Structure 1
Amino acid sequence: MANEFIKGELASMIDEFQAQMSALADVHHRRAQLTSVGTALQKRVTVTLNADFVVIETRFVDAEDLTHDELAKAVTEAAQEAAAELSRKSAELMNPLRERRGRMPKMSDLIEDLPNLEDRLPELIPASLAPPNSIERQHHDPGMVFTDVEELEDLRPGRISADDW
């Protein structure tokens, strides 16, 4: 009896998986058509990104009086604005798939003592928007630090030879 229930649930999951793959293909097609525009300096600088966050157009209007530094800062600002908007559009496009997936039973619901692997996914750390040589980028996370280590004495005078081993 329990076996039949699991078989039915697995068959249902396979059907739902196939439906999701079809919906995912449609989302991928629509995502590929996305673009996003960011502006700066009262729309004197405009940057357009495609769905892969690649700059596909940059426009300047009445920018002759701007310095190179002002233009560079404005292009960066416009590109960041476009990227934020593109992220929002992409997430909005994916929301129906996420909701649909959330309604599906997890394997851990079907098999006793199977851990929910989604709970083990690491949290996404947002990338810094700071320029390459900024103070924010100079203070880096050292990553893993090992504290339970044993220091070994280096007995070699400078070169490793067969006699040292």
Structure 2
Amino acid sequence: MSNEQAKAEMVELLDEMRSQLREVARIQRERALITGRATVRKRVTVTTDANGIVREVRFGSRIADLSYAEIADALVRASGDAAADAARQVHELMAPLQRQRSGMPVLSDLVKGAPDIRAVLPPLTGELPPHEDSQQLCAEDIRDRDPGAMFRESGW
């Protein structure tokens, strides 16, 4: 490969990296606006942020028709469904960048001993760290929990 050709490929690769960094910044801004929403039993609606953290719970006008255990079960199910909705939206938002990134050449293919450019780009996990003021539950916490237990134990 000629020196001029190598320079041209390097410039193209660096332009691509800059473009991807701008795209990552755009995705981060859009991701911050994602909310998941789910309604269970037409009476319990939960809204989560992109991390699946519950941000709002609304009860319908006929919530009193349900027992505490039914309300708790609906709340847990709606929370899980809302988190899954948010995760799906995050995945869809990130998919084009994931595909583009997988096709990027490795810099060391162009310049012997050079680092892999993908190593300096932010990871595309789709997750952001949780807010310091919130407690994040994992899926097992929700799935394995007896939905009405905390209401029965507290005498609610």
**Does the TM-score normalized on the shorter chain lie above 0.5?**
yes
Correspondence for 1:70: 70
1:51 aligns with 2:50: yes
C-alpha deviation, 1:36, in angstroms:
1.4
Question: Residue 52 of structure 1: SS of its match in structure 2?
Answer: coil
Q: What RMSD, in angstroms, separates the aligned Cα atoms of the two structures?
A: 3.0
- As a proportion of its length, which structure holds more helix? 2
Q: Report Cα offsets for 1:44-85 as digits up to 9, x if no partner.
A: 110011223221211111111222211111101001111111
Write out aligned runs for 1:88-99 (5 A): 88-99=88-99
Task: Look at both structures and tell me which one has the larger radius of gyration over its CA atoms.
Answer: 1
- Cα drift, residue 27 of structure 1: 1.2
Instruction: Show CA shifts across 1:71-100 (max 9, x none).
Output: 111101001111111111011111121122
Percentage identity across paired residues of the two chains = 37
Superposition TM-score, scaled by structure 2 size: 0.66
| One-letter amino acid of the counterpart of residue 64, structure 2 | E
CA shift, 1:108, in A, is: 5.7
- Uncovered stretches (5+) of structure 1, i.e. residues with no partner: 119-125, 134-165
Higher relative CO (Cα under 8 Å, sequence separation at least 6) belongs to 2
Which digits, 9 at most, give the CA deviation of each residue in 1:113-158, with x for residues without a partner? 99x9x9xxxxxxx95353258xxxxxxxxxxxxxxxxxxxxxxxxx
**Which residue of structure 2 aligns with residue 27 of structure 1?**
27
Q: Following superposition of structure 1 onto structure 2, how do residues 8-157 of structure 1 map, counting pairs within 5 Å?
A: 8-41=8-41, 43-61=42-60, 62-107=62-107, 109-110=109-110, 128=140, 130-132=143-145
User: Which amino acid is 1:52 matched to?
Assistant: N
Total equivalences in the alignment:
125
Distance in 2 separating the partners of 1:28 and 1:72: 33
